[in-house]
């Protein structure tokens, strides 16, 4: 997943599938966490780009290309964050908060 050139299309595909299979929410959240998980309790270098894209997928204001199951995406993100906070050291969590802050500025 880290090497996919068009992560936007990949995330759209994954999130559209949640509409048909909502039972996959926890697994997709875990998969996204594994993509962003680095070594030694830090994030991987792809995290900034991935989290920004995921945050854009949360609703019609930021995702204008396609109608996605926004509530399920929110649940997926919640599962990703649960795994993240149990693995990433707090001193390395800055990139996640930067992405949140940037996504708020984009509204």
Written as six digits, the tokens of 59 are: 């609703």
E strand or H helix at 32: helix 25-36
Position of tokens 């997926």? 76
Q: What is the pTM of this model?
A: 0.93
List of residues 6+ apart from 9 with CB closer than 8 A: none
Q: What is the pLDDT of residues 24-38, one digit of tens each?
A: 999 999 999 999 999
For 46, which DSSP code? T
E strand or H helix at 68: none
Give the mean pLDDT of 60-70.
Answer: 89
Q: What is the pLDDT of residues 7-60, one digit of tens each?
A: 999 999 999 999 999 999 999 999 999 999 999 999 999 999 999 999 999 988
């Amino acid at each position: 997943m880290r090497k996919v050139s068009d992560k936007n299309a990949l995330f759209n595909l994954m999130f559209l599938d949640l509409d048909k299979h909502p039972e996959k929410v926890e697994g997709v959240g875990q998969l996204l966490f594994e993509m962003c998980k680095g070594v030694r309790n830090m994030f991987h270098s792809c995290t900034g780009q991935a989290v920004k894209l995921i945050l854009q997928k949360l609703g019609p204001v930021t995702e204008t290309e396609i109608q996605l199951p926004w509530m399920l995406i929110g649940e997926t993100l919640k599962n990703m964050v649960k795994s993240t906070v149990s693995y990433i050291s707090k001193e390395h969590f800055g990139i996640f908060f930067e992405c949140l802050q940037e996504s708020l500025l984009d509204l």
